[in-house]
């Protein structure tokens, strides 16, 4: 399985705002579930320092919206059932149709970033 560091090297801009500096890995499953999530790429979201703060606010970024961001930016490691289980829930606790609905709140990657990192 890919290491957290090597996975981060594949994601060169913040998935939320698009900046390319001060990048960090955010964990979707947190709290007491964070240790197992830290080893599973399905749980990781690439973001800058400032957006990392925003992602910690469930009012702005409920888990289902974080999952939609993950699906949009990192389809290769998107695994809804794995994240549900990492969070200590049943595999189908959050359903794919809920993530699909949340996708409407996710901005597409700006064209300049798509071109820069093609
Ligand atoms: Zn950002």
pLDDT mean across residues, the chain? 93
pLDDT exceeds 90 at position 28: yes
How far apart are alpha carbons 44 and 27 in whole angstroms? 5
What's the domain range around 64?
A: 4-14+21-106
Residue 90 CA to ligand 1 centre (angstroms): 31
Higher local confidence (pLDDT), 38 or 107: 107
Assigned domain for 118 exists: no
Strand partners, 46: 25
pLDDT band at 83 (very low <50, low <70, confident <90, very high): very high
Kindly state whether residue 99 falls inside one of the protein's structural domains. yes
In angstroms, what is the span from residue 51 Cα to ligand 1's centroid?
Answer: 4
Count of domains for the chain: 1
Query: What is the reported pLDDT for 6?
Result: 96
Tokens of 8: 């981060």
Answer yes or no: is 67 within a domain: yes
User: What is the value of pTM for the model shown?
Assistant: 0.93
Ligand 1 centroid distance, CA of 54 (Å): 9
d(CA 87, ligand 1 centre) in Å: 24
Residue 37 belongs to some domain of the structure? yes
Residue 56 DSSP one-character state: T
Residue 23: strand pairing partners: 48
For residue 69, report the distance from its CA to the centre of ligand 1, in Å: 13
Instruction: Give the span between the Cα atoms of 79 and 41, in whole angstroms.
Output: 9
56 lies in some domain: yes
How many angstroms does the Cα of residue 20 sit away from the middle of ligand 1? Answer: 8
Q: What percent of the chain has pLDDT over 70?
A: 100
| Ligand 1 mean position, distance from CA 16 (Å) | 5
Query: Is 59 inside any structural domain?
Result: yes
> Which pLDDT score is estimated for 38?
79
Is residue 98 packed enough to be buried (19+ CB in 10 Å), middle (13-18) or exposed (0-12)?
middle
Q: Is residue 111 part of a domain?
A: no
The answer to whether residue 97 is domain-embedded is: yes
Which of 27, 43, 26 shows the shortest CA–CA distance to 82?
43
Instruction: Enumerate residues with CB within 5 Å of ligand 1 (an ion).
Output: 14, 16-17, 48, 51
- pLDDT, tens digit, 9 for 90 and up, residues 63-82: 999 999 999 999 999 999 99
Q: Compute the CA torsion angle 35, 39, 43, 48 (nearest 10 deg).
A: 90
User: What are 39-69's pLDDT values in tens digits?
Assistant: 899 999 999 999 999 999 999 999 999 999 9
């Amino acid at each position: 399985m890919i290491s957290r560091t090597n996975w981060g090297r594949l994601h060169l801009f913040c998935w939320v705002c698009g900046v390319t500096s001060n990048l960090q890995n955010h964990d979707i499953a947190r709290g007491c579930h964070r240790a197992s999530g830290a080893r599973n790429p399905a749980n990781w979201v690439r973001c800058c320092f400032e957006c990392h703060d925003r992602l910690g606010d469930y009012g702005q970024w409920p888990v289902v919206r974080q999952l939609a961001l993950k699906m949009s930016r990192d389809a290769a490691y998107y695994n809804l059932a794995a994240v549900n289980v990492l969070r200590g829930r049943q595999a189908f606790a959050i359903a794919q149709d809920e993530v699909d609905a949340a996708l409407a709140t996710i901005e597409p990657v700006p064209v300049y970033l798509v071109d820069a990192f093609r």
